[in-house]
Amino acid sequence: MKGLKVGEARRALELVDGLLCRLVPGGGLAWLSSGWQALRGEGRALPDTFAGLHIDEDADAARAMLDQLWRTGAVSGVLLRMVDAAGGLRWLRWSARTDGTAAYGTAVDVTEERARALRYREARDMLGLAVDIAQLGQWRLGLADGVLWWSPQTFRIHGLPDDSPQPDVDAAIGFYHPDDRGRVTAAVDAALATGAPYSFELRLLRADGEERQVRSRGIAVRDASQRISAIVGTFQDVTDERRVERELRDTERLASMSTLANGIAHEINNPLQYLQANLELLEGVVDQLAAGAAPAKVTAARRMLDDCMKGADQVRTIVSELRAFMQGPRDDKNAELIDVRGPIRTALSMTRAQLRAVARVVESHAPVPRVMAINSELIQVVVNLLGNAAHSLGSAGGGTIRVASHAAPDGRVIVEVEDDGPGVPPALRTRIFEPYFTTKPLGIGHGLGLHVCRGIVESHSGTLSLHAEPGRTIFRISLPPGEAAPPAQAAPGGRPRVLVVDDDELVSRSIAMMLDKGCATVVLHDPAEALRHLQREHFDAVVSDVMMPGMTGWELAMRADAAVPGTSARFLLVSGAAPDEYRPPGAPALAFLEKPFRLRELRARVGEILEAGGHTPAWR
């Protein structure tokens, strides 16, 4: 040390806490600073050789370091291990220099630094492994240069080799289904403009042409000045996940049908019983009427006929509701604006026999906005909640099930199913939505009901929650309101004109008679002729059969709309088949009425079309 005598320099070095030493040729230690004693332990003697400072497994590496030191004059960055005072291993990073006769070395304890690096490397490897297991792609879009980067997994999701050239933004968006590209562009633009994160599931067309369902999430990244500099995100193929969810829903629907089968049979057999009895009695009355029976007989016959009509209506309603429940959705395009009271009414009808045995059902409904939903799926959810409420009450009976619907202050639509059974124990409240969890006896149900119900509600952007206390259980569905109906146009003068198209002359004539009051009806039996009329004349409503020779009602509506845009919105299709039985691919949903229908049903549906066009039907 410059300015210090040798003795002073030695005393100064003794005060240093660092790990210093003086080495002599041959590997001996001429001097060690006091820091070594503290690290090794006060009761342990310091070694005479450099290799002796370290564990036996590193002795050869220590000797190799000294060989290099004496050969080259300096070494640095050599990692060796020693045992500390507590018996643990410490990692030391050595540096040393020599003047040819002696050498001085210094060691830095890097144990914690190496532990942090190891934890970081393990976390990084685990993250990479998790990304691979989840098949999670990553991407980044820079704002300044517009450069898009994809990870190898993202290329695989798109059906491309890992080493494919990085795409530009337009090429990436081009992989989405043409009908979905607008949503992608809007989400990215909004994220760049506002920094808001986004998440959506859309259809992707892979390089091999296969269509897949993918989930894309993105979030804005800001620089030091808090300006948005990029968007980073993840990309995941959820096609198989959605398929499994659909299979779970189908499984639960079948399980529900097994539970409801006896009740449905009871509900159908009751009206069939008096329908059949009254018809048999009418056979004798008709014979008497033919022989000049008294007016009282005519009155009795009319009463029997009315009862038969009511019974037939009830059977028709039950069958229609059963078909709606069993059909299930083919895809999300089946969603439509519906009043939630419709699915509630259907679910109550289907479970009436089951509920009647254990509870009094109380309904409470307030006007609510319509929601965009799949009718059969909402029926499935409410049927499951009603079944659970009945199970909660047990077989003793005497309980109450309350079913309610109302609008929340924020506009969301609320549906509640409540029972006054024993309630859900606190220990089970966090598990009740888990798949395969059930409190029912072995062999009763699959434990999928509430899990599937929550998945259905969440797929409609809603929530399904449990509110429980002793003696009270409420399952609450919350759904966002759908689009508002367009305002009615001003009513034009003159009687509304209605075109009736059906190849069956008797059917078309009866429909015209039902609408004759207040409407000017035109009856045609040939759909091709009807198309010519629609191309040159205006009709305020069109009632058309679906199955007709040469052209279906769907095709008539689509071809008429192509000639005169907006015409299909005035169509009411009627058929004995299901609404979408003969629906062409890509055709929009149209108003539909199932045969057979009653006078009030036909007038109600035609009236809705006329009112949308500014007319008030005379029967309203």
Closest residue by Cα to residue 377 from 426, 428, 324, 427:
324
Mean pLDDT on 526-537: 87
Residue 577 — very low, low, confident or very high, per pLDDT cuts 50/70/90? Answer: confident
For the cut 70, the answer to whether the pLDDT of residue 321 exceeds it is no
Q: Which residue type sits at 204? A: L
Give the whole-angstrom CA distance, residue 592 versus residue 580. 9
Q: What is d(CA 159, CA 178) in angstroms, rounded to the nearest whole number?
A: 18
Res. 309: pLDDT tops 80: no
What is the DSSP code string of 271-317? HHHHHHHHHHHHHHHHHHHHTT--HHHHHHHHHHHHHHHHHHHHHHH
pLDDT digits (tens, 9 = 90+) for 415-444: 999 998 888 777 777 777 776 555 554 444
User: Which pLDDT score, from 0 to 100, does residue 526 have?
Assistant: 86
d(Cα 457, Cα 73) in Å, to the nearest integer?
A: 75
Question: Quick check: 124 pLDDT over 60?
Answer: yes
Where does the pLDDT of residue 313 fall: very low under 50, low under 70, confident under 90, or very high at 90 and above?
low
535: pLDDT strictly greater than 60: yes
**What are the structure tokens assigned to 376, written together?**
């059969």
Q: Which two tokens stand for residue 328?
A: 């299930």
Question: In sequence order, what are the residues at sequence separation of 6 or more whose Cβ sits closer than 8 angstroms to the Cβ of residue 172?
Answer: 148, 150
Q: What is the pLDDT of residue 433?
A: 76
Q: How confident is the model at residue 11 (pLDDT cuts 50, 70, 90)?
A: low
For helices 239-290 and 375-393, angle between their N-to-C axes, nearest 10 degrees: 80
Q: Place 483 in a pLDDT band, splitting at 50, 70 and 90.
A: low
Residues 6+ positions from 421 with CB-CB distance below 8 Å? 389, 392, 393, 394, 399, 471, 473
Lowest mean pLDDT segment, chosen from 215-219, 303-307, 486-490: 486-490
138 pLDDT exceeds 70? yes
Which of the four pLDDT bands, split at 50, 70 and 90, describes residue 548? confident
Please tell me the predicted confidence (pLDDT) of residue 1.
43
pLDDT band for 300, please (50, 70, 90 cuts): low
Residue 520 predicted with pLDDT over 80? yes
Residue 187 has pLDDT above 70, yes or no: yes
Confidence at residue 55, expressed as pLDDT on a 0 to 100 scale: 94
Least confident of 31-35, 191-195, 293-297, 610-614: 293-297
Lowest mean pLDDT among 163-172, 302-311, 346-355, 386-395: 302-311
What is the distance between the alpha carbons of residues 494 and 519, in angstroms, rounded to a whole number?
9
Beta bridge partners of 106: 20, 95
342 pLDDT band (50/70/90 cuts)?
confident
Q: Is the pLDDT of residue 277 over 80?
A: no
Beta partners for residue 111, in sequence order: none
What is the average pLDDT across 576-600?
82
- What DSSP character marks residue 104? E
Q: Is 70 exceeded by the pLDDT of residue 451?
A: yes
> What pLDDT does 118 receive?
86
Q: Render pLDDT for 63-114 as a digit per residue (tens, 0 to 9).
A: 999 999 999 999 999 999 999 988 899 999 999 999 878 899 999 999 999 8
Question: Distance between CA 9 and CA 6 in Å, rounded?
Answer: 5
Confidence of residue 259 (pLDDT cuts 50, 70, 90): low
What pLDDT score does 278 carry?
63
pLDDT at position 242 over 60? yes
pLDDT band, very low/low/confident/very high, at 268 (cuts 50, 70, 90): low
Q: What is the pLDDT of residues 359-417, one digit of tens each?
A: 888 888 888 889 998 887 888 889 889 988 888 887 666 788 999 898 888 889 999 99
Distance CA 273, CA 268 (A): 9
Binning pLDDT at 50, 70 and 90, where does residue 293 land? low
Residues 568-575 have a mean pLDDT of: 92
Q: How confident is the model at residue 302 (pLDDT cuts 50, 70, 90)?
A: low
Is residue 167's pLDDT more than 50?
Answer: yes
Closest CA to 466 of 451, 481, 485: 451
Q: What dihedral angle (degrees, nearest 10) is formed by the CA atoms of 400, 452, 586, 169?
A: 130
Give the pLDDT band (50/70/90) at residue 320: low
Q: What is the C-alpha to C-alpha distance for residues 156 and 120, in angstroms, rounded to an integer? A: 27
Average pLDDT, the chain: 80
Binned at pLDDT 50, 70 and 90, residue 251 comes out as low
* Sheet bearing 591-594, strands edge to edge: 520-524, 497-501, 541-545, 571-575, 591-594
pLDDT at 276: 61
Tell me the CB-side half-sphere exposure of residue 588, using CA atoms within 13 A: 14
Pick the closest to residue 450 from 397, 391, 527, 400 (CA basis): 391
- What pLDDT does 485 receive? 35
In the structure, what pLDDT confidence band is assigned to residue 491 with cuts at 50, 70 and 90?
Answer: very low
- The pLDDT, as a whole number, for residue 294 is 66
The CA-based dihedral angle spanning residues 147, 152, 157, 159, taken in that order and rounded to the nearest 10 degrees? 90
Chain centre to alpha carbon of residue 159: 24
To the nearest 10 degrees (0 to 180), the angle between helices 505-515 and 599-612 is 70
